[in-house]
A = this chain, B = another copy of it.
């Protein structure tokens, strides 16, 4: 797979981290979306350009593999490339590395293009893809199939109020908020003693200002893996689903 790699450094500030000193999944999502925008701008096909052509990129799914989360005050390299595309889908990868080049996080992500007026998915405009120097392929890399919450027992849930500052320039809720709502329903003691190792999140529909967001989460039984499944809905309509695999920390606050 090809595609030119674009790289930026990022220093993790204290307000980007949680109680454990680990970068939050929301902030990690913000930072990778930022670098994808920065690459697009550098290639002359940035946000402004695609909007002027009546379309916008929409992320459909992200699969994160986390060796370890960036730590408070750590300087990291964030990298991305447009890896491949088909008629309707683009596959983009991200890496977060320590300054020695060791991989901390790898993200595979699936993107589609939406017509701004109709809010419907359209064919990719190749003029906006070619600058990435990635291959057109017959079939995109398969992303993780996320299990749904299939029974109602032992569900943890919380309702969220969409805040003015959750809204981006596009009048929709910034994608990075979803994973924040999802993870937050888990118990404090669990969040203070576990770290995510794999996070898959599928974005199915937009959330807008004023929507009453219901976030549900559930532990599911597996043989040797702590695993949670999540969904976000508004008035019964699912907006996003996710699966998170976790590992227990040896001691509180360890990396």
Contact = CB atoms under 8 A, between A and B. Distances in A.
A221 B56 CA distance: 43
B13 A167 contact: no
Contact of A188 (B72, B164, B168, B180): B164
Interface string A182-219: 01101010011000000000000000011000000000
A37 interface: yes
A216 B163 CA distance: 14
Nearest to A167: B19
Contacts of A192: 164
Contact of A14 (B19, B158, B168): B168
A26 interface: yes
A70 interface: no
Interface of A is mostly: mixed
Interface residues of A, number: 36
Contacts of A255: none
A176 interface: yes
Contact of A184 (B19, B21, B33, B165): B165
Top-10 shortest CB links A-B: A15-B30, A163-B184, A164-B191, A24-B165, A19-B167, A18-B165, A13-B34, A164-B184, A188-B209, A158-B161
Interface of A: 13-15, 17-19, 21, 24, 26-27, 30, 33-34, 37, 72, 158, 160-161, 163-165, 167-169, 171, 174, 176, 180, 183-184, 186, 188, 191-192, 209-210
7 contacts: A14-B168, A15-B27, A15-B34, A17-B169, A21-B169, A24-B165, A72-B169
